[in-house]
Amino acid sequence: KTTSMNVAISSGLTSQRSSAPTVASATTIAPTTQIVFVSGTAAIATITAPTPISTGGGQITLIPTAAFTTTTGGNIALASTAVVSKALIMTYDATAVKWYPSY
């Protein structure tokens, strides 16, 4: 069993110890947790990768509460359109410095 301030791992299962915050969609968003709700309809071009994802890669989950889009104008590799209440898993490649959406 491994635990830290925000994550607990037991029997291969990972749990978050905090509620998922909400960030407004904008040209740049900066999630501070692995799971975040995203409100608004503004296009997102850049996602600031939180530590340690910024150095080693990893995933974040965006849960849209409105239909926003992602564009390739920043560090997102593929454009996508969010589906309200359907989780969008974003995978960060630290070598390419790009986010790849799950849909």
**pTM for the model:** 0.83
Q: What is the pLDDT of residues 45-102, one digit of tens each?
A: 999 999 999 999 999 999 999 999 999 999 999 999 999 999 999 999 999 999 999 9
pLDDT of 41 higher than 90:
yes
- pLDDT category of residue 19 using cuts at 50, 70 and 90: confident
- The token pair that represents 99 in the structure block: 């986010």
Give CA–CA dist 93/102, Å, rounded: 13
pLDDT of 2 higher than 60:
no
